[in-house]
Amino acid sequence: MYLYDEFDRILVKERVSEFRDQVARRLSGELTEDEFKPLRLMNGVYLQLHAYMLRTAIPYGTLSSAQLRMLAHVARRYDRGYGHFTTRQNIQYHWIKLEELPDAMADLASVGMHGMQTSGNCVRNITTDQWAGVAPDEIEDPRIWAELVRQHVTLHPEFSFLPRKFKIAVGASSHDRAALAIHDLALRLHRNGAGETGFEVMVGGGLGRTPFLAKTIKPFLHKRDVLSYVEAVLRTYNSFGRRDNIYKARIKILVHELGAEAFAKEVEAEWQSTKDGALALDPAVLAEIAARFTYPDYLKLEDSPSALARARRADRGFDGWMGNSVANHKVPGYAIVTISLKPEGGTPGDATAEQMDAIADLADRYSFGEIRVGHEQNLVLPHVAQRDLPELYRALDAIGLAIANVGLITDIISCPGLDYCSLANARSIPIAQEITRRFSKPDLARNLGRLHINISGCINACGHHHVGHIGILGVEKNGEEFYQITLGGKADENAQLGALIGPAVPYVQVADVIEDIAAAYIELRARPDELFIDTVKRTGVEPFRERVYATR
């Protein structure tokens, strides 16, 4: 956990008081909606179809149990009793009243939380691997760097009015769980030939109507230079990014139009003037931040205790859950547990206040009071003793949260879509719900193996459909909802954009099409353990296209 100090707390409180004043000016009419808009956006407040929406930052997806309880309180007190975890490790409340927003924010501030920079044309919440600090394959904890960058860009005087939003992700593992390639700026910690750790810097990734994967502009950046280099990228973008067309304003377009090499040169020239100045990282500053990340006092426990194997043999439900939702921890005797928020017929990523409270209690009992949020819209208990797993399973099962579908076809990533969002062209949530019903039999989903479905209700791609193994994009045709289907996308270290399989299909056919694709995969796969994504890679989309459109 990162412990806020007095400086962090003062800043959040001052921000709440500023926002209270802005809301008062809006309510009195002193501010027009046009003037208020950029101000509220910078505090995570959107105006949606039915109400204001508040997006609250969960920096790098790490929460304490006290913070999760506060999120539950806000859901209960100011919203309709639930919240929605997003693909950027944030939480959204969709039914907040404008006049109550400052109070909701003050409540959040009491546990160091806020909506700062979760929206607007500024540097957004910094995301990272939800397993940061516990993943066996990471070279160091990326959250320390995410926190350093978070602080640096918070209320940054120069970069609060960028051409468009700016998303940064930090990764430190060989397996990329942070979707680095689809970020405006990605920092990947790795070791160079000399054994030093530093960053590969990638820029210009992003989805939306013009998807691009990020390009490497600096293969190895020394750690001391991370802030000066990030500033150089931001300054170059702030100065030269397009502002004439909102759809061409992201950094990906600037990088594409200039070419990655020319962009890198521009950044390099800027950086040479600043790299040895005030932003050169003082090891004492970094040590101070690192010291405020606390780690649990792990016990010395037996790894894979024999009682666990016995429990698996004795209880089929536990065995299935453990095989699906439990991952290896870097400390022997511990495990990482994912709590799926994708029940059959549910809204992906939604959690009720009661569920949040219950998970906070379980975190206190079994995970040193810590919870993580992943970009797949699930929650994680990051430090569970393996010997406690059977007990934890029973506790989760009792509240309907032992859902063993992590990484399977029903673990769908979805944006809120037309049910909430004023930008959407089509509904997303009912599509996700119908698919989870079609594949609700555990054996059916398990037989299909790892398979990620991503759904976006419009071209803005909040559901990351371009990088779903199966991507579903809602479009509008003559006032009706249609859906384009792509196959073969992925957001990991071998990131790739999916390929379109054919003409868009109407709303009522989407779940049938997904069933056809799943059936085609079963027939096409070379072996039972050839993953869906590998089959698509081997065969291309053609055989899937044939299957889907043969009868349509």
Partner 1 sequence: MPLVKAGKIVEDQYVRVEDDAPLPDGVPVLLTAARFLADARDLTERDAPVGVIWPNDRRIAEVAPWIDRLALIALAFPKFKDGRAYSQARLLRERYGFRGELRATGEVLRDQFQFLLRSGFDAFEVKKPADAAVFAEAAARFSVFYQPSADGRLPALRRRLQSVAQDAPVTV
276 binds partner 1 (CB under 8 A): no
Q: For the chain, what is the radius of gyration of the CA atoms?
A: 23
Give the strand order in the sheet containing 197-203. Answer: 127-128, 168-171, 185-191, 197-203, 215-222
Choose, by CB under 8 A, the member of 99, 196, 288, 515 that binds partner 1: 288
39 binds partner 1 (CB under 8 A): yes
Q: Which is nearer to partner 1, 84 or 143 (CB)?
A: 143
Q: Which is nearer to partner 1, 242 or 438 (CB)?
A: 242
Q: CB within 8 A of 414, min separation 6: which ones?
A: 347, 348, 349, 377, 428, 429, 431, 432, 454, 455, 456, 463
- State which of positions 232-261 bind partner 1 (CB under 8 A): 235, 238-239, 243
7 binds partner 1 (CB under 8 A): yes
The Cα 40–Cα 43 span in angstroms is 5
Q: Which is nearer to partner 1, 156 or 312 (CB)?
A: 156
Bridge pairing between strands 185-191 and 168-171: parallel
The window from 34-42, 86-94, 315-323, 442-450 that contacts partner 1 (CB under 8 A) reads 34-42
Output the smallest distance, CB 183 to partner 1, in A: 21
18 binds partner 1 (CB under 8 A): yes
Instruction: Say which DSSP state 367 is in.
Output: S
43 binds partner 1 (CB under 8 A): no
Output the smallest distance, CB 293 to partner 1, in A: 14
Which residues on neighbouring strands pair with residue 187, listed in sequence order?
170, 201
* Residue 138, φ and ψ in degrees, nearest 5: -95, 150
| 3-class DSSP string for 204-235 | CCECCCCCECCEEEEEEEEHHHHHHHHHHHHH
Query: Which of 15, 40, 71 shows the shortest CA–CA distance to 373?
Result: 71
DSSP string, 410-424: TS-EE--GGGT-SS-
The window from 159-167, 387-395, 422-430, 438-446 that contacts partner 1 (CB under 8 A) reads 159-167
Quickly list H helices, 378-524. Answer: 389-398, 429-438, 442-448, 510-524
Q: Which is nearer to partner 1, 285 or 522 (CB)?
A: 285
Choose, by CB under 8 A, the member of 99, 137, 158, 303 that binds partner 1: 158
Q: Which is nearer to partner 1, 137 or 257 (CB)?
A: 257
Buried b (16+ CB within 10 A) or exposed e, 171-199: bbbeebbbbbbbbbbbbbbbeeeeeeebb
Output the smallest distance, CB 11 to partner 1, in A: 4
Output the smallest distance, CB 101 to partner 1, in A: 16
Query: Which of 542, 412, 508 shows the shortest CA–CA distance to 469?
Result: 412
194 binds partner 1 (CB under 8 A): no
Choose, by CB under 8 A, the member of 20, 95, 106, 160 that binds partner 1: 160
Output the smallest distance, CB 218 to partner 1, in A: 20
Choose, by CB under 8 A, the member of 17, 210, 272, 494 that binds partner 1: 17
284 binds partner 1 (CB under 8 A): yes
Q: Which is nearer to partner 1, 287 or 519 (CB)?
A: 287
CA angle 104–107–112, rounded 5-degree value = 120
Q: Which is nearer to partner 1, 152 or 438 (CB)?
A: 152
Structure tokens at 489: 């996308």
Q: Which is nearer to partner 1, 39 or 203 (CB)?
A: 39
433 binds partner 1 (CB under 8 A): no
* Contact string 128-157 vs partner 1 (x = CB under 8 A): -----------------------xxxxxxx
Q: Which is nearer to partner 1, 122 or 322 (CB)?
A: 122
Query: Which of 449, 548, 443, 543 shows the shortest CA–CA distance to 504?
Result: 548
Q: Which is nearer to partner 1, 161 or 295 (CB)?
A: 161
Output the smallest distance, CB 17 to partner 1, in A: 8
Ranges assigned E (strand) in 307-431:
326-328, 334-339, 350-352, 370-373, 379-385, 413-414
* Contact string 104-133 vs partner 1 (x = CB under 8 A): -----------------x------------
162 binds partner 1 (CB under 8 A): yes
CB atoms within 10 A of CB 451: 22
Amino acid at 37: K
* Residue 188, φ and ψ in degrees, nearest 5: -110, 115
Which residues on neighbouring strands pair with residue 499, listed in sequence order?
487
493 binds partner 1 (CB under 8 A): no
DSSP string, 157-182: SSSSS-SS-B-EEEE-BSS--S-GGG
Choose, by CB under 8 A, the member of 5, 137, 196, 480 that binds partner 1: 5
27 binds partner 1 (CB under 8 A): no
Structure tokens at 234: 């931001």
* Residue 381, φ and ψ in degrees, nearest 5: -100, 110
List interacting residues with partner 1 (CB under 8 A).
5, 7-8, 10-11, 14-15, 17-18, 22, 30, 35, 38-39, 121, 151-162, 235, 238-239, 243, 273, 278-279, 282, 284-285, 288-289
